[in-house]
A and B are shown apart, each in its own frame.
Chain A
Amino acid sequence: MSEIQNLTIPEIATITEIKDEIVDVRTFYLSFDARTGGEAPKIKSGQFVMCTVFGAGEFAVSLPACPENDRFHLTVRRVGKVTNALHALSAGDKIGIRGPFGNGFPFEEIKGKNIIYVAGGIGLIPLRSSIMHVMRNKDEFGRILLFLGARTPQELMYQYNLEEWKAAPGFETYITIDNPVPDWDGETGFVHTLIKKKNIPVKDTVAFVCGPPMMFNAVIKELTEMGIGEENIISTLERHMKCGIGKCQHCAIGRTLVCTDGPVYTYRQIKTLGEQI
């Protein structure tokens, strides 16, 4: 924990820049008022923060920034009251941040293994941090494959990073959209069908999967049928959260709390916890 206490009371941050991503999704870059140089708290890839929009409320949001060298930012789709209020803000406005909370991705344990990322739509947001980390430390891993799906080309997240990832040596990047459209010459069809078509490594492989429940279930089915073990499929779960520190209990799944025991789980854990994704 940092010396700045923000477990219960948020610390104030300033929105320095806002970037439009896709429809209804924006990225907010932040600087932290009480810290030297506005520097952000240290994060682990896979963690989340609680974000306060003054006058509206607080919500849990994953951290897409690379833990090593990235400006601290949140990418948020507007869906409810608080996220809509956030989207109404402009650069210079203040918000509140608590955290970061949660366990993060288990990079130490998966060193030397092949990595497959499968993201559907805005499921790429929590995985971005992990992808950026892996790209910086490519030598520690085997083959690295990215499978990204979206409904339309306009709904592909982080367009500016996609180019970078496609060009990155050692990265095998596949992008697909659900249905063919006139000016799209890439892959089409659901992302789980794309996995089947490509020659993916199965031995010593870890898959990071994130996306809407329907897509998640289809991808899991595909991966396990191909022979990737349930303990080697990693995802990050989304739940209704109020405190982030294991007290309000809203995010309880079985015996665990997503905020303190998660949000990163293996599929084996998710299955034994006995709740829908």
Chain B
Amino acid sequence: MYLIKKSSVLDIARELQKEYRVYGPVVEKETRQTMFTGVEDAAELDLNAPIPAMPPKHIVFPHFERIMSYTYDRAAKKADIRPDFDDSRKALFGIRSCDLTGIICLDRFFLGQEFVDEVYRNHRKNMFIVANTCTVPFKQCFCVCTDSGPSAREGFDLNLTDLGDQYLVEAGSEKGKKLAEKMGLAKADDSLAKRKEAIIDASVSKFDAIATDNKAWISRVVNRVTTGLIDEKVWEYIGNQCIECGACSYVCPSCSCFNIVDPQTSEEAADRMRTWDSCSYEGYSRMAGGHNPRKPVEDRRSKRFFCKLSYSQSKKYLRPGCVGCGRCQWVCPGDIGLPNVVTYIRRDIQQ
């Protein structure tokens, strides 16, 4: 454990900039929204900024990404494929524990199953992660319900905790330790570990008063979602509320469905693009010829919550798919963000 003065905490980002493209929370001047974005000047980064509008998922799993390009010449009977994987050095600075948990979910899903996803593996290959403990929750947070906060326990190279006038810097990897040593950070007294625990406890106790928007007792519904023992009427109501905009999937730190398309770049060349997709769209499961095994919208909605809450899917993530960031509730025009869905299911169980 190390210490760094609050006024110089951005020096960590500056040090990282020597080797990495640094991404972090930036408050946009015009909209005053927080975006997790790449910066040239580390001074733009703001560790106290509210939770970013979009999770940093797009840095490891871009919204729209070329994975290969190819040319083909029918007359000469030739084709040539060039893979295009992004393994550039990227650093995430000041990621909050919910969003980091999202990346951990993606790691386990993309790298830990039967096949390894090459595209994702390249994004993650040269990455440095600096997490930031939330000493105060935000209005929509419910990470305490999903065991993903307020402080990260794994997945980071360095973890920062605000102690008032300075930050406690914990190394989570050799890479993190090296950086701290290289910067010559002051060693922290062991007693500060206790102090950090107290800060986390204090943060958790503030959820009742501050994080009033959402609560989600997911443990109560995991069994029902897994076994499907939920009244059809509940899904029907949820389906009727869904306008199929896909926003919940886009803002979710652990949603990772993608589509693949080959837009042509010239007569004889095309790119293979991988783009985000959402299971709420009707075309998601529609096959060529028009047959669609998932027709009604409630059928598709139940799939999303199966993915977030079922035991079967948790086995892939080694935890629930929901990380408690509250963004789906924030963006959903139909009021069927995950916490609300959990509430509807619980109501049904109680009846």
Q: List A residues at the B interface (Cβ < 8 Å).
A: 7-10, 12, 14, 52, 54-59, 79-83, 89, 92-94, 96, 213, 238-240, 242-243, 245-255, 260, 274-277
Contacts and interface: CB of A to CB of B under 8 A. Distances in A.
B293 A277 contact: yes
A52 to B, nearest CB: 8
A84 B120 CA distance: 31
A250 B288 contact: no
A58 B293 contact: no
Interface in B231-272: 256-262, 264, 268, 270, 272
Contacts of A7: 115-116, 118
Contact of B260 (A12, A93, A242, A277): A242
Contacts of A275: 293-294, 299
A238 B268 CA distance: 31
Can you list the 10 inter-chain pairs with the closest CB atoms, starting with the nearest?
A80-B288, A255-B312, A54-B72, A94-B79, A245-B115, A79-B289, A79-B288, A8-B118, A249-B257, A276-B293
Contacts of B256: 247, 249
A255 B225 CA distance: 11
Interface of B: 67-68, 70, 72, 74, 77-79, 81, 83, 109-110, 113-120, 228, 256-262, 264, 268, 270, 272, 277, 279, 284-289, 291, 293-295, 299, 303, 306-307, 310, 312-313
A224 B99 CA distance: 49
Given A79-B289, A248-B258, A276-B293, A94 B114 contact: no
Given A93-B77, A246-B114, A246-B115, A255 B313 contact: yes
Contacts of B294: 275-276
Contacts of A94: 72, 77-79
A242 B257 CA distance: 10
Given A240-B287, A247-B117, A274-B228, 18 more contacts: A9-B81, A9-B83, A10-B81, A54-B262, A57-B261, A79-B288, A92-B77, A247-B115, A247-B120, A247-B256, A248-B260, A250-B285, A251-B285, A252-B279, A252-B307, A255-B310, A275-B299, A276-B294
A187 B310 CA distance: 49
A33 to B, nearest CB: 9
Nearest to B121: A8
Contacts of B270: 54-55
17 contacts: A8-B117, A14-B77, A54-B270, A55-B262, A56-B262, A89-B74, A94-B79, A243-B260, A245-B117, A247-B109, A247-B110, A248-B260, A249-B257, A250-B285, A252-B307, A276-B293, A277-B293
Contacts of A250: 257, 259, 277, 284-285
Given A250-B277, A250-B284, A80 B313 contact: no
Contacts of A10: 81
A24 to B, nearest CB: 11
B68 to A, nearest CB: 6
Contact of A54 (B79, B83, B109, B277): B79
Contacts of A54: 70, 72, 79, 262, 270
B72 A55 contact: yes
A17 to B, nearest CB: 14
B79 A12 contact: yes
A248 B274 CA distance: 10
A35 to B, nearest CB: 15
A9 B66 CA distance: 12
A131 to B, nearest CB: 24
A94 B71 CA distance: 11
Contacts of B293: 239, 253, 275-277
B99 to A, nearest CB: 21
Contacts of A274: 228
Nearest to A81: B288
A255 B312 CA distance: 6
Contacts of A245: 114-115, 117
Nearest to A249: B257
Contact of A8 (B67, B268, B289, B307): B67
A242 B260 CA distance: 6
A85 B297 CA distance: 32
B264 A55 contact: yes
A249 B284 CA distance: 10
Nearest to B80: A12
A59 B259 contact: no
Contacts of A260: 113-115
